[in-house]
Amino acid sequence: MPELPEVETIKRGLENILLQSRDKIHILKIETSSLRLRNSVRRSQLNKVGGQSLLNLTRKAKYIVFELNDFCLISHLGMTGSWRIEKDLRNHDHVRIFLSNNEILTYNDPRRFGVFDVVTKRELEHYPRFTALGLDPILDSRFNGEYLFAQIRKRFSPIKSLIMNQQIVVGVGNIYASEALYLAGIHPLTFAANLTRVQVDILVSAIKEVLFDAIVCGGSTVSDYRQTSGSSGDAQNFLFVYGKSKENCFYCEAIIQSQVIVGRNSFWCPECQSLM
């Protein structure tokens, strides 16, 4: 479900709810469902978070990290994960965090592609899922044309699959990959090694712009994504190509094309995006 802008929006929503009160909120206990997500949480770790305070929230790639006194909770939303504050139990609720303010913070995930983990702060420094991550286009100023060009200059796969590769650049998923390539005027099937340095510079700017604008809009609600508050995102109203197969290009009115590229449906304008 969520790409960088959606995860960032959810993280900010959780910040408003969990970190704004005068008294620090602490965790009473955490319960998990019997069905496992992509990982399984060590029960011994889970039992130690009782009494720990919620101190801070950060986003690492598409992960949300809840910082406690001695531990960190790690959450990846997969395709269909969501967090909400509600006492009622719903189908597909997999993690319930009972809070000292008498609220329950609940993780729901029908497809169970998400990750929920509990690690010590020391373990976080070498957390396996974090060690190979590429640069963050929003948070890390080292993500520039020089970096991306060096990463892809010898790669012979379609550029779209490489900007979705989290080991190169994090946060870009299937929607914003198509959108960024459209903005940059680059055909998604272009072999990465064929891109010029100038094109890569433009692509880097396009990725930053697409993600930044989507954060401002509160993320894209294509089917079921919701902000923590429950409201829809707004960015889906500003998409140019994603999901717009057979519609007219906003600028040139050519018919938007679509094709599965490395397993993911991809959208582009045949006039505005040239294949190198």
Partner DNA sequence: CTCAGATCCTGTGCGC
Partner DNA sequence: TGCGCACAGGATCTGA
Q: How far is the CB of 6 from DNA (least distance, A)?
A: 5
Consecutive H or E run containing 203: helix 197-216
Using the minimum distance from each CB to DNA, give the nearer residue, 165 or 273: 165
Using the minimum distance from each CB to DNA, give the nearer residue, 191 or 250: 191
Q: How far is the CB of 227 from DNA (least distance, A)?
A: 10
Using the minimum distance from each CB to DNA, give the nearer residue, 25 or 37: 37
Using the minimum distance from each CB to DNA, give the nearer residue, 52 or 80: 80
Q: How far is the CB of 198 from DNA (least distance, A)?
A: 21
Q: Which residues lie closer than 8 Å to 271 by C-beta, 6 or more apart?
A: 249, 252, 254
Select which of 2, 5, 137, 188 is catalytic.
Answer: 2
Quick check: helix, strand or coil at residue 260?
A: strand
Q: How far is CA 99 from CA 18, 96, 169, in A?
A: 10, 9, 35
48 catalytic per annotation: no
Q: How far is CA 188 from CA 67, 78, 96, 170, 266, in A?
A: 38, 24, 41, 18, 8
Q: How many other C-beta atoms lie within 10 A of the C-beta of residue 97?
A: 24
Q: How far is the CB of 232 from DNA (least distance, A)?
A: 9
Using the minimum distance from each CB to DNA, give the nearer residue, 97 or 168: 168
Asked whether the beta carbons of 79 and 1 are under 8 A apart, the reply is: yes
Using the minimum distance from each CB to DNA, give the nearer residue, 48 or 92: 92
Distance, CA of 40 to CA of 118 (rounded, Å)? 10
Q: How far is the CB of 35 from DNA (least distance, A)?
A: 7
Inter-helix orientation angle 197-216/145-152, to 10°: 120
Select which of 11, 59, 60, 62 is catalytic.
Answer: 62
Q: Which residues in this chain contact DNA in the complex, by CB under 7 A?
A: 1-3, 6, 38, 61-62, 76, 78-79, 91-92, 110-113, 129, 155-158, 161-162, 164, 166, 173-175, 192, 219-225, 233, 260, 262-265
State the Cα torsion 172-175-177-180 to the nearest 10°. Answer: -110
Structure tokens at 152: 């892809």
Rounded to a whole number of angstroms, the distance between the first and last alpha carbons of the chain is 31
Q: How far is the CB of 27 from DNA (least distance, A)?
A: 25
Structure tokens at 171: 């946060």
Select which of 31, 208, 264, 270 is catalytic.
Answer: 264
60 catalytic per annotation: no
Quick check: helix, strand or coil at residue 152?
A: helix
Structure tokens at 115: 């990750």
264 catalytic per annotation: yes
Active site residues: 2-3, 62, 264
